[in-house]
Structure 1
Amino acid sequence: MFISTAFAQSAETAATSGNLFMSLMPLLVIIVIFYFLVFVPQKKQAHERLSMLKNLRRGDRVITSGGIFGTIHRLPSDEEAVLEISEGVHVRVLRAHLSTVRLKAGAADETPANTTPEDTVVTPKE
């Protein structure tokens, strides 16, 4: 009687090992989907940000993470930038805190000839 119980237990474990793989399959599929939906776009975004920070040039209009608008005045090192936030007012910031490049230095020359500064100003409605 004891031997028949032992055989029954060993046969049951062989069946559950195959069943274990099938029960973990949905979890593995979810992990793979999560990887492609979260980590791959995040890597791409980090690469684009690093590229943006490396390609900063004098005259680029930027926004800091604190919301300060400025123009790159000079780039003294790989880690910092000097912004001109108003005529004659310069602020030193870390490049890591530059969140957006609003206008590249060469892009200002490429504006159409028929636009005037008044065309680009947005006035609030009363």
Structure 2
Amino acid sequence: MFATPAFAQAAGGGGAAGAITSFVPLILIFAIMYFLLIRPQQKKMKDHQKMVEALRRGDQVVTAGGLIGKVSKVKEDGELEVELADNVKVRVVRSTISQVLNKTEPANT
């Protein structure tokens, strides 16, 4: 019923090696989460940022709300003016652009 002193001493002998091996699964789970979830999401955000920064007048875009229009003016304060139809222009925040359908060619100067 009772543990003998020799058996009790042998059970606690892991020390530092036991502590390190208990953290290995936690470290592996974090590494897997980083490579499967965090890293691809950061890459996607970086690509979206590049796409938004490269917007120019004349690009046909899709907003996050599903509106399709043509960029008529690019403002400096993070806004775009998008023309949805003839004489129908809306101000849109740059980050809400979800896709660029048609890029315009840069003008040769």
Residue matched to 2:89: 90
TM-score for the superposition, normalised by structure 2: 0.81
Residue matched to 1:22: 21
Count of paired positions: 103
TM-score for the superposition, normalised by structure 1: 0.71
Residue matched to 1:53: 52
Residue matched to 2:78: 79
Give the Cα–Cα distance (whole angstroms) in 1 for the partners of residues 92 and 53 of structure 2. 15
Aligned partner of 1:46: which letter?
M
Percent identity of paired positions between Structure 1 and Structure 2: 36
Give the Cα–Cα distance (whole angstroms) in 2 for the partners of residues 87 and 105 of structure 1. 19
Offset, 1:76: 1.8
Give the Cα–Cα distance (whole angstroms) in 1 for the partners of residues 68 and 61 of structure 2. 6
Give the Cα–Cα distance (whole angstroms) in 2 for the partners of residues 17 and 92 of structure 1. 61
User: What's the CA shift string for 1:15-64, capped at 9, x where partnerless?
Assistant: 15422321221221111111111111111111101101100011100011
Which structure's relative contact order is higher, taking Cα pairs within 8 Å and 6+ residues apart? 2
**Helix, strand or coil at the partner of 2:18:** helix
Q: Structure 2 unaligned runs (5+)?
A: none
Who wins on radius of gyration, i.e. which is larger? 1
Offset, 1:14: 3.9
Q: Structure 1 unaligned runs (5+)?
A: 107-126
Offset, 1:102: 1.0
Q: How does 1:1-126 map to 2 (within 5 A)?
A: 9=9, 12-106=11-105
Aligned partner of 2:56: which letter?
R
User: What's the CA shift string for 1:67-103, capped at 9, x where partnerless?
Assistant: 1100000112241000010122111111111111111
Give the Cα–Cα distance (whole angstroms) in 1 for the partners of residues 12 and 51 of structure 2. 56
Report which of the two has the higher share of helix. 1
**Helix, strand or coil at the partner of 1:57:** coil
**Between 70-79 and 17-26, the greater mean CA deviation after superposition:** 17-26
